[in-house]
A and B are shown apart, each in its own frame.
Chain A
Amino acid sequence: MGQGGEPRRAQAYDGELGAAVTRAQDGDEAAFAVAYRIVQPGLLGYLRGIVGEDAEDVASDAWLEIARDLGRFKGDGAGFRGWTATIARHRALDHLRRLRVRPRSAVLDQDVVLDLAGPHSTHDEALESLSTEHALELVRGLPRDQAEAVLLRVVVGLDGPAAARVLGKRPGAVRTAAHRGLKRLAHQLGAAGAGEGVTDGGPRTLGEST
């Protein structure tokens, strides 16, 4: 029921987001900051799923472009999510293309991940970052189209048509990809989550219900 739930979930914030974007387009700097704070978490989650630890850099690039082109944008809050996701995706694909030309070693990647997780070293954040890593690992283990569909639908909070427009595909294809991806994740969580403290409750139930 993700299809039905997401638009409702996003609506409450999309109104606020739309108003902030409108004000920002009129030149209000603070409103732009509000829009940034509303959009950035989902965007970052999506980018983490695609480019991993480079998500912050890619998001920063994307926001430069968003800030520059904000005047061109037309639409409401939900539209702004989609528009920013499209820009972020293009930046992420550029980034991946650059990486393919000049690949880095896996060890270095590991170091960067640990460094990023380093600053937030209180107990709960350690747990959270652990589950984040786990979830990231799972999502990045999916085929690319499924991972992107799941992330756009679940993390960014786009509805089907908007996710399809971001990915440049047809809504049916995106819906199928998201469904398959979630199913696969549920299986993996059900198989791997038995001994894990944080995600213990969820995966077991998921495993039973499937």
Chain B
Amino acid sequence: MGERLNDGAGHSRRRTHPVDAAADHEAAAGAPEAAAAGAAAAGAAAPALEALLLRALSSQALSSQALHAQGLRGPGDGERRAVAAFRAARDAGAHKARTRRRDDWRPRDRRHTVRSLRATLSVLVAGLTLGGVAFAAVGSSTDGVAGGAGRPEPAATTTATASASGAGSADTVSVSPQPPAATGRDRPVSAEDTDAHCRAYEKVVGRGKATDSTAWQRLVTAAGGAENVVAYCEAAAAAAAATSESGSAGGGPKSGTSPKTDKTAEAGSGVGAGKTQKAEPAAKAGKTPEVGQSAKATKAAKSGAESQ
């Protein structure tokens, strides 16, 4: 935090650089005392830690640079060796070498900006595309729900409960022998609705706005007024009971007699076959196997008659 607060004061010092300082040293090279005073003044005027470190850690190199510039020393050993190595590498053609990834220090700012721009655009386009697809999908699915699948669902469950709760026997017998799962999907017979609503109506009526819903309103309309609902329901229940009674009365004997009638029918056909087969040999007289067959057929006809 110290260098931050002192930044304003240390700004001019901060802009100095090893080479700048070297130039200072060169200028003041003739007078060591002046250089020392300058260094001390710089230290006092610019207390920034970074400047202090910079000066301290490269001062030795700077003084040798200053000496070198003065001509008191030749080019530094390091520099001479480096330049010699450079010359050797250049003459050997080593400087034609391919740039590796770690040798590429070109600034990346512009490339980065371009890339980020491209990334932003592609993200935008992808987002719009996906959003459009999602919107379209959501729209079509709501349409489908509104059209057929969603709405009838509650009605279907009502039908299922209604048929399961007892009145179904009359319905299934009278209307169709299909399994209840299949009938549940169709639009319910209004009798069932009425029956179920009638049973629930007594519990619902007088409880807030429940009777305002469409189903109850339909019941009330069918009854011809709220006060007639009870009477209408009794009538409907009586009608339903009558239908179920007649259905069970018709169904009971039928199930009992059906095996017999089936047998009779089979026996009759057997007799008929015997007769026809008898008639055939009569037409084609003289052929024994057919006669034997006809005998068998008569036997079967006889046994059928006996069982009857």
The 8 Å CB contact of A2, one of B15, B50, B57, B62, is: B50
The 8 Å CB contact of B49, one of A123, A129, A182, is: A182
Chain B's closest residue to A186 (CB) is B2
Contact (Cβ within 8 A) A139 B57:
yes
The 8 Å CB contact of A9, one of B17, B49, B65, is: B17
Inter-chain contacts of B283 with A (CB < 8 A): none
Interface residues of B in 41-92 (CB under 8 A from A): 43-50, 52-65, 75, 77-79, 81-83, 85-90
Given A32-B82, A63-B82, are A75 and B104 neighbors across the interface (CB < 8 Å)? yes
Contact (Cβ within 8 A) A79 B2:
no
Chain B nearest CB, measured from A140 CB (Å): 11
Given A63-B81, A71-B97, A209-B2, are A5 and B14 neighbors across the interface (CB < 8 Å)? yes
User: Could you say which of A74, A122, A206 has the most chain B C-beta atoms within 10 Å of its C-beta?
Assistant: A206
Task: Please report the C-alpha to C-alpha distance between residue A40 and residue B68 in the assembled complex, in whole angstroms.
Answer: 13
Contact (Cβ within 8 A) B32 A10:
no
Size of the A side of the interface (Cβ < 8 Å), in residues, is 88
Inter-chain contacts of A122 with B (CB < 8 A): 32
Contact (Cβ within 8 A) B53 A131:
no
Q: Please encode chain B, from 4 to 35, with 1 for each CB lying within 8 Å of some chain A CB and 0 for all others.
A: 11110001001111110010000000001101
Contact (Cβ within 8 A) A209 B6:
yes
Chain B nearest CB, measured from A101 CB (Å): 25
Task: Please report the C-alpha to C-alpha distance between residue A13 and residue B78 in the assembled complex, in whole angstroms.
Answer: 21
Q: Please encode chain A, from 74 to 87, with 1 for each CB lying within 8 Å of some chain B CB and 0 for all others.
A: 11101110110010
Inter-chain contacts of A80 with B (CB < 8 A): 105
Contact (Cβ within 8 A) B104 A199:
no
Q: Please encode chain A, from 131 to 161, with 1 for each CB lying within 8 Å of some chain B CB and 0 for all others.
A: 1101110010000000000110111010000
Inter-chain contacts of A210 with B (CB < 8 A): 1-2
Q: Is the C-beta of A202 less than 8 angstroms from some C-beta in chain B?
A: yes
Using C-beta atoms within 8 Å of the partner chain, give the interface range for chain B: 35 or more
Inter-chain contacts of A41 with B (CB < 8 A): 18-19, 22, 58, 61-62, 65
Task: Please report the C-alpha to C-alpha distance between residue A199 and residue B56 in the assembled complex, in whole angstroms.
Answer: 10
The 8 Å CB contact of B56, one of A1, A44, A135, is: A135
Q: Is the C-beta of B107 less than 8 angstroms from some C-beta in chain A?
A: yes
Task: Please report the C-alpha to C-alpha distance between residue A71 and residue B85 in the assembled complex, in whole angstroms.
Answer: 13
Inter-chain contacts of B79 with A (CB < 8 A): 33, 36-37, 40
Given A67-B82, A79-B106, are A201 and B47 neighbors across the interface (CB < 8 Å)? yes
Top 7 A-B pairs, shortest CB-CB distance? A71-B95, A79-B105, A75-B105, A124-B36, A135-B56, A45-B57, A202-B47
10 pairs, A vs B, C-beta closer than 8 Å: A5-B7, A33-B79, A41-B22, A42-B58, A63-B81, A122-B32, A198-B43, A205-B6, A209-B6, A210-B1
Chain A residues with a Cβ under 8 A of chain B = 1-2, 5, 8-10, 12-13, 24-25, 27, 29, 32-33, 36-38, 40-42, 44-46, 48-49, 56, 59-60, 63-64, 66-76, 78-80, 82-83, 86, 116-117, 120, 122-125, 127-129, 131-132, 134-136, 139, 150-151, 153-155, 157, 162, 165, 182-183, 185-186, 189, 198-207, 209-210
